[in-house]
Amino acid sequence: MSDLPKVLVLGAGGFIGANLTERLLADGRHDVTAIDVDGEKLEGQIGHARLTFHRHDIRRRDDSLETLVRDHDLIVDLVAMANPSLYLTNPLDVFHLNFTENLRIVEHCVKHHKRIVQFSTCEVYGRTVAGVLGKDPAEMPFPFREDESPLIMGPVKNHRWIYACAKQLLERVLHAHGLEDGLNYTIIRPFNFIGPRIDYLPSEKAGNPRVFSHFMNALLYGTPMQLVDGGRSYRAYTHIDDAVDGIVRILDNPGGVCDREIFNLGTPENETTIRGLAHRMIAIFDEHFRRPGDPHPEIIEVSGEAFYGKGYEDCDRRIPDVTKARTLLGWESRHDLDSVIHHTMKYFVEAHRAKTAKGS
């Protein structure tokens, strides 16, 4: 083992985790231990001299997780169920993984005096004031600020909120451990990161992934592009490379500026409605990737309940205020919406065409 600081990345096999792990290894300033139940997205890195990968379920009830925490300098926790369809179909699994199991990690950090960087979500902000008042959110921009904005969630019967609620509760417990035990934590609230290695195409793997994968599936397999409730909701997309730049700055924690702080990471300039996203994706696909014979997907509208099941309620608009990351960390994202879409699309198209070529 080297003398470099040792980072434990929990959930390293996921979309953000795999991109972060790759960057940490390329930077060469850490030894990385990557933990996940799934190592497929880490394939390019496994075997790297500064990487140890354990295929490990954090729900295991033995002392392995505590030992891992004890033996590392910095803990990064990304483990979660993060696809909205699961909040509707498996609310208790979402709660137990995203809160109960993550809480065990936090408690090990308290016991062993380790700094933890915890991934939360922009969903903790919930709905906007406009949304709650039944007004058009386009007419009432409401940027979310880490230390000022209220966190507005819908009724309990709309169990979509169990994810946001579990994440919010974990944030509050981290804060309380900071106050009472001196726990050193930093919370990251990502705003819709996308890029290579996000999710999967639903025609190739069972499940209901996030929206970009559904729309990609439509472009590659000709399934309809389904606009949930008319695609009126807004999202602001951030390129995973920009996101990883921000995450690495938070891990570095220059001068302790991230101690016991919450950071939004997002790109307010890259805001679009979901309908707008569908149209930009079609235009970019047609301009850069379309081949003769590729399908022209139909755009249809579907209700939230028909698409996700009972208990769905949407976040109407989420605009990140990134003043804190800009001023304390000098972080700014560089990719505009078209380049985020283009880069993510390229990843899907190349993977799909390589697969199709192999099969033919």
Q: Between the CA of residue 115 and those of 13, 26, 132, 162, what are the distances in Å?
A: 21, 22, 37, 27
Asked if 38 is part of the footprint of ligand NAD (rule: CB under 6 A), the reply reads yes
Among 8, 16, 164, 225, binds ligand NAD (CB under 6 A): 16
Distance CA 88, CA 197 (A): 24
State which residue, 152 or 299, has the beta carbon closest to ligand NAD: 152
Look up residue 287 and give its amino acid.
Answer: E
Among 54, 59, 326, 334, binds ligand NAD (CB under 6 A): 59
Asked if 14 is part of the footprint of ligand UGA (rule: CB under 6 A), the reply reads no
Assigned token pair, 31: 């030894």
Given ligand UGA, ligand NAD, none, residue 226, with its beta carbon under 5 to 8 Å by kind, binds ligand UGA
Q: Phi and psi of 174, rounded to 5°?
A: -60, -45
Q: Which of 294, 73, 260, 92 is nearest to 181 (CA)?
A: 260
Q: Is 234 a catalytic residue?
A: no
103: enclosing H helix or E strand: helix 102-112
Q: Which residues pair with 264 in a beta bridge?
A: 189
- Stretch binding ligand UGA (CB under 6 A), from 66-74, 151-159, 169-177, 224-232: 224-232
87, 163, 234, 308: the catalytic one is: 163
Q: Any residues with CB less than 8 A from the CB of 289 and at least 6 apart, and which?
A: 219, 345, 346, 349
Min CB(139)–ligand NAD separation in Å: 26
The contact pattern for ligand UGA, residues 184-203, with x = CB under 6 A and - = no contact, is: ------xxx-----------
Assigned token pair, 333: 């994202």
Q: Any residues with CB less than 8 A from the CB of 205 and at least 6 apart, and which?
A: none
Asked if 235 is part of the footprint of ligand UGA (rule: CB under 6 A), the reply reads yes
- Stretch binding ligand NAD (CB under 6 A), from 117-125, 151-159, 227-235, 333-341: 117-125
- Stretch binding ligand NAD (CB under 6 A), from 53-61, 64-72, 85-93, 281-289: 53-61
Distance CA 335, CA 359 (A): 34
Asked if 36 is part of the footprint of ligand NAD (rule: CB under 6 A), the reply reads yes
Min CB(314)–ligand UGA separation in Å: 5
Strands 299-302 and 225-228: parallel
Given a contact cutoff of 8 angstroms between Cβ atoms, the answer to whether 164 and 88 are in contact is no
Given a contact cutoff of 8 angstroms between Cβ atoms, the answer to whether 327 and 279 are in contact is no
Distance CA 352, CA 202 (A): 12
The contact pattern for ligand NAD, residues 185-204, with x = CB under 6 A and - = no contact, is: -----x-xx-----------
Min CB(241)–ligand NAD separation in Å: 13
Q: How big is the site for ligand UGA, counted in residues (CB under 6 A)?
A: 20
Question: Which residues here bind ligand UGA, judged by CB under 6 A?
Answer: 82, 84, 121-123, 163, 190-192, 210-211, 214, 226-228, 231, 233, 235, 274, 314
Question: Which residues here bind ligand NAD, judged by CB under 6 A?
Answer: 11, 13-17, 35-38, 57-59, 78-80, 82, 97, 119, 121-122, 190, 192-193
- Residues known to be catalytic: 163
